[in-house]
Amino acid sequence: MNQETQVLAARDGLDRDWWRGAVIYQIYPRSFQDSDGDGVGDLAGIARRLDHVAALGADAIWISPFFTSPMKDFGYDVSDYCDVDPMFGTLADFDRVVARAHDLGLRVMIDLVLSHTSDRHPWFVESRASRDNPKADWYVWADPRPDGTPPNNWLSIFGGPAWQWDGRRRQYYLHNFLKEQPDLNLHSPAVQDALLDVARFWLQRGVDGFRLDTINFYFADKELRSNPPLPEALRNDSIAPMVNPYNHQEHLYDKNQPENLDFLRRLRAVMEPFNAAAVGEVGDAQRGLEIMAQYTAGDDLMQMCYSFDLLSKQRLTAARLVEVMAAFEAAAPDGWACWAYSNHDVERHISRWGLCDAAARAYATLLVCLRGSICLYQGEELGLPEAEIAFEDLQDPYGIEFWPEFKGRDGCRTPMVWQADNATGGFTTGKPWLPVPGAHLGRAAAVQAADPRGLMHHYRHALALRHAHPALAKGDQTGMAASGDVVCFRRAAAGETVFVAVNLGDAPAEIDAPQGERWQAIGADLGAVAPGPGGRIALAPWEVSLLVSRD
């Protein structure tokens, strides 16, 4: 029996819908746990700390890139898709992570970066060597305009033009991100085949799925047409900071191309025999929910996608949540979302929305009650605020480029704090690659484990509630409405209905309790309140009410 047959046999008969409603815990490997004292987290450190994730109640982990890389963008510039960068360990270390995760009942999803590679990837080295080599068309190359300027007006998310001149070919190549991250040309069938082989490699090693970086950037317009300007009134900072001219364009042609759907179907066909699932990152401030809906429609595309609607600086109010959910429902009633408040690319939501501890609890409870799968970012369960990083300590090229108006992503990427009795929070015995804020130490995992009132215990109770009620994990969602700061909705599945009411404001509120069924209060360990006399629910600031009715 070969390796692939063994993997498929082991997965045969497993829950085909395991991803639906799953809680996915994101691990940023540089900052999770260092095992060798060099100040950078690694795979051995991940294996050591997986008990924490399992105890929290997560269903899966998503590991950000650990592939061989020059680290210009901290692993999102891949120079070898099928090996581990030495700073993180070896393939054997990765296999141990997978084995340990599976022993703990955790599935493993890894971050695949398919839209671009490093400029040191052998594919690009060959492609740039001449215009007639076997990989000459594996990247997006274009002749200059007659005056020598780039072929169109496309801009890089990291600032400046999205085109870099290459003297060897006397052409420009496309880079939607850093110039060291040339964009692959997925219009080439050979490129698609090579990327599908990468997916097979990791599936055969035992991974259960993928987080797909910038999933809507895979294809650029074949004709390389320029983007039109975006009216100032429509610009926002969901994808790029307002100091970045990227927000001045309507991105019609540099991403979001219809050809992507056929490639995603090919990728789904590769994943399907392995019972694997994918969650795609939709990086678009203008059409995010629409694209998210397109990519998850039916049963032959991606299982899940997420947009930046809940990752934006605009605080998630009751009215805003109703608006987002209604837009997604209208676009793809059979689609499936993956919701998150924080990740490695945005300011942590505790700081972004200015949340007190009570508000953090309310938002955590709300998240586990929403229809869709959910992602938690490491340290979110500890209530870590955004770290203030001095300019001289910055590592992120994005922040260095736009400092001080935009400070980059280092503030959400500082090391995880495991204990409070040393300056590095138990992350490393050496000097951490980013400083550990002293303010984080009091929120360390060990501190909160000893405090029943700690936010970490709230997350454990919230995830347990989601697992205990099929309606919350996989059920339908109906009747979502906002009444002032209070959002109410129902989830229903498997003969049970759960009524959810969350006060997302700092003032008391009252609402009517649902009528017509026999309701029972649940969620007492989350601070949820029951209806009072007269069928009214009185909610203190940031308080919730959870009721269940069974057939």
- Dump pLDDT digits (tens) for 224-269: 999 999 998 888 887 788 889 999 999 999 999 999 999 999 999 9
- Write down the pLDDT at residue 9: 46
> Residue 15 pLDDT > 90, yes or no?
no
Strand-strand pairing, 304-306 and 509-512: unpaired
More confident residue, 6 or 371: 371
Residues 6+ apart with CB under 8 A from 448: 382, 454, 455, 456, 457
- Write down the pLDDT at residue 8: 53
Q: In the chain, which segments carry CATH 3.20.20.80? A: 3-114+189-220+255-464
CB atoms within 10 A of CB 145: 11
Q: In the chain, which segments carry CATH 2.60.40.1180? A: 476-550
Distance CA 542, CA 529 (A): 11
Distances (CA, A) of 394 to 279, 349, 398, 551: 29, 20, 10, 56
- Write down the pLDDT at residue 144: 98
> Residue 7 pLDDT > 60, yes or no?
no
Please pick, among 281, 309, 386, 396, the residue that the annotation labels catalytic: 281
> Residue 13 pLDDT > 70, yes or no?
no
> Residue 149 pLDDT > 70, yes or no?
yes
- Write down the pLDDT at residue 1: 40
- Write down the pLDDT at residue 4: 54
The CB-side HSE value for 49 (13 A sphere, CA atoms) comes to 28
Averaged over 363-371, what is the pLDDT?
98
Whether this prediction's pTM lies above 0.85 is answered by: yes
Please check whether residue 41 is in contact with residue 94, taking contact to mean a CB–CB distance below 8 angstroms: no
Secondary structure (H, E, C), 228-251:
CECCHHHCCCCCCCCCCHHHHECC
Give domain 3-114+189-220+255-464's CATH architecture. Alpha-Beta Barrel (3.20)
Distance CA 168, CA 64 (A): 33
- Dump pLDDT digits (tens) for 461-518: 999 999 999 999 999 999 999 999 999 999 999 899 999 999 999 999 999 999 887 9
Distances (CA, A) of 184 to 81, 113, 117, 287, 408: 13, 10, 7, 23, 25
Q: Which CATH number does 476-550 carry?
A: 2.60.40.1180
- Write down the pLDDT at residue 240: 81
213 is known as an active-site residue: yes
Distance CA 379, CA 396 (A): 19
Q: What is the mean pLDDT of the chain?
A: 95
Distance CA 308, CA 297 (A): 19
Averaged over 407-424, what is the pLDDT?
97
How far the first Cα of the chain sits from its last, in Å, is: 48
Local structure of residue 311 (DSSP, 8 states) = S
> Residue 37 pLDDT > 80, yes or no?
yes
Please pick, among 34, 85, 183, 213, the residue that the annotation labels catalytic: 213
- Dump pLDDT digits (tens) for 116-135: 999 999 999 999 999 999 99
> Residue 146 pLDDT > 60, yes or no?
yes
> Among positive and negative, which fits the CA dihedral 512, 515, 518, 523?
negative
